Structure 1
Amino acid sequence: MSESMFIRLFAGVSPDYLGGIPLIPFGQWLLPIGIFLLTVGGYAERARKAETFSLYRYERVSDWWKRHFVKRVIFGIRIAVLLLLIVLLCDIVMGKLALLSAGLLVKISVLWLFHSISMAAFFVLLDLFPLRRFAPVALFLLEGVTFIAGSRLCAVSHAMYGMWGMYLRSSLYDAGGFPAGVIIAAEVALPAAGFLIGREYLKKETDYIKIENG
């Protein structure tokens, strides 16, 4: 199993490791996440100026936010799918595809995709705030720190965000893993919550500007 690049990069860190944090598997897990965050961040930086000016074409800031949020999250989904396909292609070229059953491929991909969607949504939300340039670092640290915390404190491991995208830490792989269905539902709820928080924040900012200019 460990010979497949797809599994090494997207399945997560095996619960079989005892004691300290396994640096190589953990680093392999963080690699595509880092690439994902940098790509999403680069796109956000390029698109920010044009999208800010487009705000004036909308009657309500909530309409702009809806379009902005959906567009950015869809871009994140595309990047996540592209990363999965690139690594899968590498496995095909290296003759490792036989190590991946269709069921295993789907399980790993679904968990990683939902995790990526929640990260993309967090990124869009953080991009509203003054410290937006630190969003990639903040999310990367969130992933790493919560995984380490979950590895050290087994009692709270299922609640740690850094575990959620890992097939090898889920109930799909190990009965003692986090409940995959519940976590997928949570990672669907997180973007929805991020959208609502962003909308309310923009409404308050707009109302404040109106009062200041009034």
Structure 2
Amino acid sequence: MLDLPLQAAEEEEVKYLTGEALQSRILEAVREFVCSRALQQPLILVWEDLHWYDPSSKHVLKTLRPLTREVPLLILSAARPEGTAVDPDEVKGVRVRLSPLTRDESGSLIRELLQIENLPARTRDGILSRAEGNPFFLEELLRALIDAGVVVMEGGRAIATNEIESIDIPETVQGVLAARIDRLSSEPKRALQRASVIGRVFPRRVLAHFVR
């Protein structure tokens, strides 16, 4: 939305707005846009990782929540257990607490994501034990196996190499990500280091400036 072009008169008007006034105008515009879309047809908004959302995102969500009582709008918010995805004081909502995947469900997810036929039982059990029902951790572990070259794609199928049984399976998500980063070449690794200093969200041009 920040990239939407403005008419000359609008640019001139926005230029002299205070920060607070500009924020109010942005929230009003977002509210009107969502309201218009929901009136055209029922609308579902999905907000993921609310445990990371910043104050600006919180203001947007708080502005949109009352619309659920006015137009056919459903807001789905996903957060970690310690997150505040739904605030009962702001809007009537239903909180659904998801349990970790069972071992059978985790096994099904492995088959769905990797579609591998010759995964050794020992490796499979190790992955299931490490992931402890965390689907994100499970997915990252499988990606790590591919990055390490112990799982290769042939003819559209995933095949485990002989080296897969000798690989150490990281114990944490951080360990998985660190292992994947370590395998990168120097240039993308340097870009990640710069990005980590800038912050979680940043314009591409800012990162490009620092990695020149």
TM range (shorter): under 0.3
How does the TM-score come out when normalised to structure 2? 0.22
Q: Higher helix fraction: Structure 1 or Structure 2?
A: 1
Q: Higher strand fraction: Structure 1 or Structure 2?
A: 2
Higher relative contact order (CA 8 A, sep 6+): 1
How does the TM-score come out when normalised to structure 1? 0.22
